[in-house]
């Protein structure tokens, strides 16, 4: 039987917590540490299934990796060309980030290999990376409809390209920059809207220069990475659930420690502030090229807004819980320009709209977003469609609910936030599971 969450209404949220490490930074620390020269020490690594799949993939390609133990990982880098052909298919599980970034990094290797994933990942579109990789000279075969598994043929002679991305995607940008390290000449990518820049920041920290001019990122092929120490900030996407808890609970004061506040990721903070959230940043500093801060949130009187479209790409993963904030706000919230949500682990626009309607909320899905009229959340049962962020978002909805909320299909929460149930109950949520 799949994992089920049951939540009774609660109204007091308080405490000081540290959420798990940032998934995007955790993935990249393993990838870059593995192809660097020397030994990389990582602290704060996210021990969720997605990042562990990346770690297992590099072990399967001959990289010696110790840990993780309490978030500490030691990676003995093999250099740009030291990876070995794995004896089996590399299983990326549920991780689109792993598959898309590795398709770039591995297309420049000398050996053939296959990348596969779970049922959810197998439905996700990969042509957005395989098409531009083909322009660089990579040979990557997909299954029907441009979907996984991906078969990568080694030994390709890669050339740098200039690529105008048709849609904003940090995964596509990162994939092409990583392939560009193995290509002859310069690879440059132009993005139509800003996306997270963890790849550029971390490559620079590993001594591989990336040039950024406005919305164009470029690098020269043939360089090398030098090992360094990475202290992974905590994940703002995971912190977002607690920010919204603090904002919608009647009696709250919560401090979320050491959160990554990379400017390409802080859309959730800006949107909540526009809605009237009582949210402040404390103890701001920079760690390993990434800005971090403690985030304090107190009870707030949220109001509905039309979310500015320029903030949408900066909060794309946080929309499931932002839709919950909108359901608890006074008045109407309109989200547009978020069509990317339809091709995540689930169709997050439709799944969230269906779940909110099941809980008595006036919510209407649109092609590229949602219209939500805030009001009361009633009791009911929702299906997370095996999507971790949906399951956690509806858990937060219990703070504004009139009765019990039951969420089906919650096993996937382990992919990004293995300690969610424990931390949520610690700060005041009333969450039980059937396991």
User: What is the mean predicted confidence (pLDDT) over 323-341?
Assistant: 95
Neighbours of 433 (CB within 10 A): 12
CATH class, 5-21+233-433 region: alpha beta
Cα 363 off chain centre by:
25
Query: Above 90 in pLDDT, residue 213?
Result: yes
348-391 pLDDT tens trace: 999 999 999 999 999 999 999 999 999 899 999 999 998 999 99
Find the helix or strand (DSSP H, E) in which 132 lies.
Answer: helix 127-135
Backbone angles phi, psi at 151, to 5 degrees: -105, 120
**88-92, 120-124, 145-149: least confident range:** 120-124
Q: Which two three-digit tokens encode residue 215?
A: 């919305």
- List the chain domain ranges: 5-21+233-433, 23-231
Whole-angstrom CA distances from 6 to 346, 379, 405 are 21, 11, 6
Closest CA to 345 of 54, 94, 53: 94
Model pLDDT, residue 425: 97
70-82 pLDDT tens trace: 999 999 999 999 9
Whole-angstrom CA distances from 114 to 177, 221, 276, 372, 408 are 21, 24, 48, 43, 32
Sign of the four-CA dihedral 5, 48, 199, 270: positive
Model pLDDT, residue 414: 83
Query: Above 80 in pLDDT, residue 345?
Result: no
Q: Which residue is listed with tokens 């920079």?
A: 286
Which residue is catalytic, options 317, 386, 387, 409?
Answer: 317
User: What is the mean predicted confidence (pLDDT) over 209-213?
Assistant: 96
Closest CA to 316 of 338, 348, 334: 338
Model pLDDT, residue 71: 93
Cross-strand bridge partners of residue 75: 40, 65
**pTM of the predicted model, to two decimals?**
0.80
Query: Above 90 in pLDDT, residue 433?
Result: yes
- Residues 306, 308, 314, 317, Cα dihedral to 10°: 20
2-20 pLDDT tens trace: 899 999 999 899 999 999 9
Stronger pLDDT, 37 or 96, i.e. the higher one: 37
Model pLDDT, residue 40: 97
Is 317 assigned a catalytic role? yes
Query: Above 80 in pLDDT, residue 411?
Result: yes
The answer to whether domain 5-21+233-433 and domain 23-231 are alike in fold is yes
Model pLDDT, residue 283: 96
Query: Above 90 in pLDDT, residue 313?
Result: no
Q: pLDDT-based confidence at 120, cuts 50/70/90?
A: confident
**What is the architecture of the domain spanning 23-231?**
Alpha-beta prism (3.65)
Model pLDDT, residue 342: 82
User: What is the mean predicted confidence (pLDDT) over 84-95?
Assistant: 95
Q: pLDDT-based confidence at 400, cuts 50/70/90?
A: confident
Cross-strand bridge partners of residue 363: 372
Give CA–CA dist 74/109, Å, rounded.
23
Model pLDDT, residue 195: 86
Give CA–CA dist 10/14, Å, rounded.
12
Model pLDDT, residue 416: 74
Q: Which two three-digit tokens encode residue 60?
A: 């399967």
Give CA–CA dist 113/153, Å, rounded.
7
Model pLDDT, residue 168: 85
Q: pLDDT-based confidence at 264, cuts 50/70/90?
A: confident
């Amino acid at each position: 039987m799949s994992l089920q969450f049951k939540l009774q209404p609660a109204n007091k949220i308080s405490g000081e917590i540290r959420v798990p490490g940032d998934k995007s930074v955790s993935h990249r620390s393993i990838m870059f540490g593995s192809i660097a020269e020397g030994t990389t020490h990582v602290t704060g690594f996210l021990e969720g299934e997605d990042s562990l799949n990346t770690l297992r993939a590099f072990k399967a390609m001959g990289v010696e990796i110790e840990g993780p133990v309490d978030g500490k990982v030691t990676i003995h880098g093999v250099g740009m060309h030291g990876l070995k052909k794995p004896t089996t298919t590399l299983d990326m599980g549920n991780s689109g980030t792993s598959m898309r970034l590795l398709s770039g990094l591995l297309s420049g290797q000398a050996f053939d290999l296959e990348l596969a994933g779970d049922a959810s990942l197998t439905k996700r579109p990969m042509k957005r990376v395989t098409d531009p990789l083909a322009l660089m000279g990579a040979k990557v075969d997909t299954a029907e409809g441009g979907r996984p598994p991906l078969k990568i043929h080694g030994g390709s002679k890669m050339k740098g390209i200039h690529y105008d991305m048709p849609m904003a995607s940090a995964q596509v940008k990162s994939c092409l920059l990583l392939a560009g390290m193995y290509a002859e000449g310069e690879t440059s990518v132009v993005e139509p809207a800003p996306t997270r820049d963890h790849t550029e920041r971390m490559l620079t920290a590993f001594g591989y220069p990336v040039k950024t001019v406005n919305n164009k990122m470029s690098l020269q092929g043939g360089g090398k990475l030098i090992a360094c120490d990475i202290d992974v900030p905590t994940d703002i996407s995971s912190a977002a659930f607690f920010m919204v808890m603090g904002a919608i609970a009647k009696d709250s004061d919560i401090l979320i420690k050491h959160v990554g506040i990379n400017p390409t990721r802080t859309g959730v903070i800006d949107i909540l502030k526009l809605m009237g959230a009582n949210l402040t940043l404390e103890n701001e500093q920079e760690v390993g090229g990434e800005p971090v801060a403690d985030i304090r949130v107190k009870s707030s009187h949220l109001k509905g807004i039309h979310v500015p479209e320029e903030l949408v790409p900066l909060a794309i993963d946080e929309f499931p819980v932002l839709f919950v904030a909108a359901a608890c706000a006074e008045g109407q919230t309109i989200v547009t320009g978020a069509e990317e949500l339809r091709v995540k682990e689930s169709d997050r626009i439709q799944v969230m709209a269906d779940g909110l309607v099941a809980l008595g909320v006036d919510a209407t899905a649109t092609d590229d977003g949602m219209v939500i009229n805030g009001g009361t959340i009633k009791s009911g049962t929702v299906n997370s469609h095996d999507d971790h962020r949906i399951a956690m978002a509806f858990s937060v909805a219990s703070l504004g609910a009139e009765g019990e909320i039951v969420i089906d299909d919650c096993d996937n929460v382990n992919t990004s936030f293995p300690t969610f149930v424990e931390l949520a109950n610690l700060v005041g949520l009333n969450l039980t599971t059937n396991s």
